[in-house]
Amino acid sequence: MDVSSKEFISLANIGLENENLQTTMNQFGANMISRRQQIVQQLPEFDQLRDEARDIKNHTLAHLDLYLEKFEQQVVANGGQVHWASSEAEAKRIIGDICHAKAAKNIIKSKSMVTEELDLAVFLEDQGLETLETDLGEYIIQLRGERPSHIVAPAVHLNKDQVADTFFKHHSQPGDNKKLSTRADLVAEARQILRSHFLAADIGITGANFLVAETGSIILVTNEGNAELTTALPETHIVVTGIEKVIPTLEDAATFIRLLTRSAVGAEISAYTSFITGAKRSADLDGAKNFHVVLVDNGRVDMLGSEFQPMLRCIRCSACLHHCPVYLSVGGHAYGSVYNGPMGAVLTPHLAGVEHAGHLPNASTFCGRCESVCPVRIPLPDLMRFWRNQQTTLKLDKPSVRWALQAWAFIVTRPRLYKIVSALLVRCLAGFTKAGFITRLPSIAGNWTESRDFRKPEQQTFISRWKKGRADV
Residues lying near ligand SF4 in the complex (CB under 6 A) are found at 263, 314-320, 343, 374-376, 378, 380
In the complex, the smallest distance separating the C-beta of residue 239 from ligand SF4, rounded to whole angstroms, is: 20
- Burial call 299-317: b when 16+ CB within 10 Å, e when fewer: bbeebeeeebbbbbbbbbb
Find the shortest distance in angstroms from Cβ 134 to ligand SF4: 23
For residues 220 and 111, the answer to whether their CB atoms sit within 8 Å is no
Starting at the edge strand that comes first in sequence, how are the strands of the sheet with 210-212 ordered? 246-247, 210-212, 217-222, 272-276
Q: In the complex, what is the shortest distance from the CB of residue 447 to ligand SF4, in angstroms, rounded to a whole number? A: 28
Measured from the CB of residue 375, what is the shortest distance to ligand SF4 in angstroms?
Answer: 6
In the complex, minimum distance from the CB of residue 45 to ligand SF4, in angstroms, rounded to a whole number: 18
Judge contact between 400 and 441, C-beta under 8 A. no
For 172, other C-beta atoms within 10 Å of its C-beta total: 13
Beta-bridge partners for 434: 437
Q: From the CB of 369, what's the least distance to ligand SF4, in Å?
A: 10
Continuous H helices in 267-340: 300-303, 319-322, 325-330
Q: How far is CA 18 from CA 108, 143, 334, in A?
A: 33, 21, 12
Please count the CA atoms within 13 angstroms of the CA of 425 that sit on its side-chain side. 13
**In this complex, which beta carbon is closest to ligand SF4, that of residue 94 or of residue 321?**
321
CB-nearer residue toward ligand SF4: 115 or 166: 115
> 394-412 in b/e burial notation, b at 16+ Cβ within 10 A?
eeebeeeeeeeeeeeeebe
Return the number of the residue (166 or 318) whose C-beta is nearest ligand SF4.
318
Distance CA 265, CA 151 (A): 12
Dump strand ranges (E) for 264-407: 272-276, 290-296
- To the nearest whole angstrom, how small is the minimum distance from the Cβ of residue 54 to ligand SF4? 10
C-beta of 70 vs 313, nearer to ligand SF4 = 313
Q: What is the dihedral of CA 114, 119, 123, 126, to 10 degrees?
A: 150
Length of the chain: 473
Yes or no: say if 356 and 289 are a contact pair by the CB < 8 Å rule: no
In this complex, which beta carbon is closest to ligand SF4, that of residue 338 or of residue 380? 380
CB of 321 to ligand SF4, least distance (A): 7
Would you say 72 or 252 has its CB closer to ligand SF4?
Answer: 252
Q: Which is nearer to ligand SF4, 74 or 318 (CB)?
A: 318
Query: Shortest Cβ distance from residue 425 to ligand SF4 (Å)?
Result: 37
Q: Which is nearer to ligand SF4, 270 or 433 (CB)?
A: 270
Q: Distance of CA 158 to CAs 23, 24, 119, 199, 327, Å?
A: 10, 7, 22, 29, 15
C-beta closer to ligand SF4: residue 240 or 315: 315
Q: State the minimum distance, in angstroms, from the CB of residue 296 to ligand SF4.
A: 17
| Smallest distance from ligand SF4 to CB 342, Å | 6
Closest listed residue to residue 86, CA positions, set 289, 300, 392, 359: 300
Helices assigned H by DSSP within 119-215: 120-126, 136-144, 160-171, 183-200
Residue nearer to ligand SF4 on the CB measure, 318 or 348: 318
Rank residues 70 and 262 by Cβ distance to ligand SF4 and give the closer one.
262
**Nearest to ligand SF4 of 231, 340 (CB atom):** 340
At residue 402, φ and ψ (nearest 5 deg) are: -60, -45
Least Cβ distance, residue 264 to ligand SF4 (angstroms) = 8
- Cβ–Cβ < 8 Å for 316, 154: no
